[in-house]
Amino acid sequence: MNTTTTTKNAGPEHLVELTNLVKRYHGRAILDGISARFGRGQITAMIGPSGGGKSTLLRSINGLNTIDGGEVRVGEHRFRPGQATDREVLQAVRRTVGMVFQDFQLFPHLTALGNVMEAPQQVAGKSRTAAEAHARELLKRVGLGERCDHYPSQLSGGQKQRVAIARALAMEPQVLLCDEITSALDPELKHEVLDVLADLRDDGLTILMVTHEIGFARRAADRVVVLAEGKIVEEGPPEQVIDRPETERTQRFLKNVLG
C-alpha cells in the first residue's frame, strides 16, 4: 500500500520516498516491502503496535539503520542496500533530515544555547557569532528564549525536549523525524512539545513522527500511517483512520490503546 502525503502549499512534491523498503534482523523482516511518500509541510503520524517497525522506519530514512532491500530517497539523494554507509550520501541526507529522540540526547556539559550551537559550528562550519544568533532565535521559537544559559540538569523534561527540537532545527533541515519524543514526559508536559511541532508544520517543515499520542494525531496530523508486522496496514486522514478505521488490525490496535 502506498502512503501519499501531498502538501497544501507546494503541490505534490514528495521530499521523502520509500520504495519496497526491507529491513531484517536475524532473518525476521522488521520492514517488509514498505512503499511510502511524504510531502512538504505536513505532519504524518505513524502509529501501531510495539515492534511493528515504526522506529526502524525512521532510523532507515536517515541512515542510522542500514537497509536490506529497496530504496530510500530524501530530496535528490538516494541510497540502496550497501550504500547507507557511504559517508557522502549520509552527510547529504542528514543535512536534509533532522531527528529528535525520546531520551533528548543533550550534552550535559553544555547549556541549552551551547547544545543548539554545537552542530552548526562543528559540522556546518558556521562562525560562533552566526551560530549563536541562530540558536537564540530557535530557542525563542520553541519558547525557551529565557533558558539559553540553563544546563540540561536545570530544565524540565518538556524543556529538554524542546531544546532537542531546536538543536535539530539548527541544521536547517527540510524534514524532522520524531521518535516517540513525548513518551518519557508527564502528561502536562507533552502538550508543550506537541504544540511546538504543530507550529513548525505551519512554517513548512515536513514532520514524520512515531507516536502513541492518538489525540495529537487526530488533532494535528495531516495523515496517519498504521504500521504492524512490518507493513503499512492502513493510511489516510486522521478522521478516517482513527475514527473510522477500515482494517481489522487497525481497529484492534485502537481498541487496545483507547480502551
% of the chain surpassing 70 pLDDT: 94
In a domain, 94, yes or no: yes
In a domain, 253, yes or no: yes
The count of domains in the chain is 1
- What is the DSSP annotation of 115-152? HHHHHHHHTS---HHHHHHHHHHHHHHTT-GGGTT--G
In a domain, 85, yes or no: yes
In a domain, 150, yes or no: no
In a domain, 158, yes or no: no
The 10s digit of each residue's pLDDT in 163-197 is 999 999 999 999 999 999 988 788 878 888 888 98
What is the model's pTM?
Answer: 0.89
CA dihedral 136, 137, 143, 144 (to 10 degrees): 0
Domain around 48: 2-102+177-258
In a domain, 112, yes or no: no
The 10s digit of each residue's pLDDT in 210-259 is 998 899 899 889 999 999 999 999 999 999 999 999 999 999 999 999 87
Closest of 96, 47, 16 to residue 226, by C-alpha: 47
Q: What CATH number is given to the structural domain containing 246?
A: 3.40.50.300
In a domain, 68, yes or no: yes
- Whether residue 242 contacts residue 95, with contact meaning beta carbons closer than 8 Å, is answered with no
In a domain, 25, yes or no: yes
